[in-house]
Structure 1
């Protein structure tokens, strides 16, 4: 179920608050580099995705990201609960055709981000026939550029349709950045459309990554 909710997050506080006496479930092989922590609000381990990253879990964890013109696809096996989320900045580009290394900057592009996410879900126990998808983001927040968000949304719709997956919920387009928290175990998603006060932070973040699209993400920006 998609819930549009106002997340009560105070300025400067991350949603993944580490707690020393809480043991996080082990990350799946290949996802050890993803930042995770304990979220006291959901009482779950929460993975924090940057642009160009994706995360898959077999545990009852949450996955958090912030989106401007980027898109996140949330995909899960509705029977087993194994699932994950990606966060990509641009749709397919032919220049990346040979760059298919797992975890490489190619994952910043939609076609590889989708391919990797679906393959890893199935590798970890998901069945293609049981996969369901929810899609978020694609806001028009980069005023001096073409509508990258609309291109991302069109791409992910076309990709999922071509692969035979039905989108069961989405919140895409418009001019709003979004905070997204996904719970693959049960499929729930919390979405908050961010007030315009915070838009410049996200514009700066996305502009930075667009300018360094050929390099792996190194830094992050938290905002609330």
Structure 2
């Protein structure tokens, strides 16, 4: 995660990468760039506590039993649980959480549409858990840059042109190839 101050807005900005998430109750901005990945921007509108995750693949298919909902946010099942738990730990209330979904573009030329699977997972998770989606910008064929202001819930989406696809697709391919070699570890508390 990279921290900086945006000179135009004078706001502290956290840039997250695949497998990361950030939550805050401060007036900060969280940003990321998505191709086939998904980011959920989630907040409690009463407390202003909010956060964003960034995941590449829907689920860790090698996980078994209780360890299935643990560790690292490189998989959607971990990323969503860890984000929600971190928000609750900062004072958010589960029944008030609002979700905004972004990403899932088809930017890789392979036969597998990872973005589509990510979108399906995200919707399934949100509806199964009883949360509500208040907005979305998902699918299609272009990458996106997401700028999220958790305390207000404001999101700015910049659709990037096709020349970014090749670079982002190469980064995502490297990430997918490396993801399986790293062990999944850690704990998630389910509510």
TM, length-normalised to structure 2: 0.90
Root mean square deviation, CA, Å = 1.4
Paired residues in the alignment total 180
* 1:1-224 matched pairs, under 5 angstroms: 34-97=1-64, 98=67, 104=71, 106-213=72-179, 214-215=181-182
User: Which stretches of structure 1, 4 residues or longer, exceed 3 Å deviation after superposition?
Assistant: none
Q: Deviations over 1:63-93 (max 9, x none)?
A: 0000000000000011011110000000013
SS of the aligned residue for 2:73 comes to: helix
**2 CA distance for matches of 1:198 and 1:156?**
24
Q: Which residue of 2 aligns with 1:30?
A: none
Q: Does structure 1 conserve the Cα–Cα contact (< 8 Å) formed by 2:60 and 2:68?
A: no
**2 CA distance for matches of 1:56 and 1:123?**
10
**CA deviation after TM superposition for structure 1 residue 100, in Å:** 5.5
Unaligned ranges ≥5, structure 2: 184-191
TM, length-normalised to structure 1: 0.77
Unaligned ranges ≥5, structure 1: 1-33, 217-224
